[in-house]
Amino acid sequence: MPHFRPDDIHGIHAILYALFDAHEKLDRAAMRKQVEICLATGVHGMAALGLATEVAKLTEAERRTIMDWTAQDTAGKVPLAFAIFGSSVAEQVSQVRHAESVGADWVIPQPPPVGSYGASEYIKFFGRVAEATDLPVAIQNAPAFFGRGLTSDEIRELMTLHPNIRLIKGEGPVTDIAGLIERTEGRIPVFNGGGGLELIDNFRVGCRGMILAPDCIDLAVRAYNAFRTGDEAAAETQYAKMLPAAVFVMQGIENLICYGKRLFGARAGIPIHDRTPAMRPSDAGLAMVARFAAHLGRLPG
């Protein structure tokens, strides 16, 4: 049974990077340290197996391993979510079953990474995955990254058909998130990502929280906490400090994995190794990582 209800899910949630050793194997100690650092920053939730986790490069066994490790290291301290990757309903349901078995509080099915179809196919696909679990389900709607997605009205239809679809994970401009909140009549919590860009305005339009990679997670947590207490000036100060680094790493998913992960590693004291194929850093990019890491300081933990 999940530890947390959908109403408990809010704030800044960390989406973990996949951390590899020099032999391109998942690094158990580094993954544990990443979770410990995120918890030390005061994150309001933990997540894994999203785009930042390089989920498409992982085998099914490795995705299960990351679920096991993340659940062990989070230990029920904050809500835990897993993105669900798979090309078929059966593959995604198998991943959902494992998420259930390790105590996930919610799951986030991704659009199947095959083909490009009409909305009705995605509604059926997500609906069948949602029907297979009693866990709260969030639909990941990120057409800019996946090349496929649903409109606000189509998401509302899906919610009506499947009551356990209780959250939405968007990935886009704050204006799109505001429209989604309006079209769903504020009945369902909406999270955004986008590396924390437009962070404070996401909160202003009613976004329940953000799911972010951990390179600037400490500042995002402080910004959210300040905003919740009504101190928008303090929230803006924290956002302003993280913004240049967020703009630098959020120039596409491969850029995030290359430089965002290295920025996290520099701030956390964790060596970063790539799994082939990967975007390789340039000297100019590494110099920017070093400069931003020095400006932001060491992460706690």
CATH of 6-238, one of 3.20.20.140, 3.20.20.70, 3.30.930.10, 1.10.10.10: 3.20.20.70
**Higher-pLDDT residue of 9, 149:** 9
What pLDDT does residue 145 have?
Answer: 47
Q: What is the mean pLDDT of residues 122-137?
A: 93
Distance CA 196, CA 239 (A): 9
Q: Please, which pLDDT band fits residue 190 given cuts at 50, 70 and 90?
A: very high
Q: What is the mean pLDDT of residues 232-243?
A: 98
Predicted TM-score of the model (pTM)? 0.95
What pLDDT does residue 144 have?
Answer: 52
**194 secondary structure, DSSP code:** G
Query: Which of 35-39, 50-54, 176-180 has the least mean pLDDT?
Result: 176-180
What pLDDT does residue 123 have?
Answer: 86
- The token pair at 68 is 């096991």
How buried is 175 (Cβ within 10 angstroms: 0-12 exposed, 13-18 middle, 19+ buried)? exposed
* Residue 211: pLDDT over 60: yes
Is 272 annotated as a binding-site member?
A: no
Q: Please, which pLDDT band fits residue 293 given cuts at 50, 70 and 90?
A: very high
Question: Which has the closest alpha carbon to 281: 257, 264, 299, 297?
Answer: 257
What pLDDT does residue 4 have?
Answer: 87
**Higher-pLDDT residue of 113, 246:** 246
Q: Please, which pLDDT band fits residue 139 given cuts at 50, 70 and 90?
A: confident
Rounded mean pLDDT of the chain?
A: 93
Q: What is the mean pLDDT of residues 81-88?
A: 96
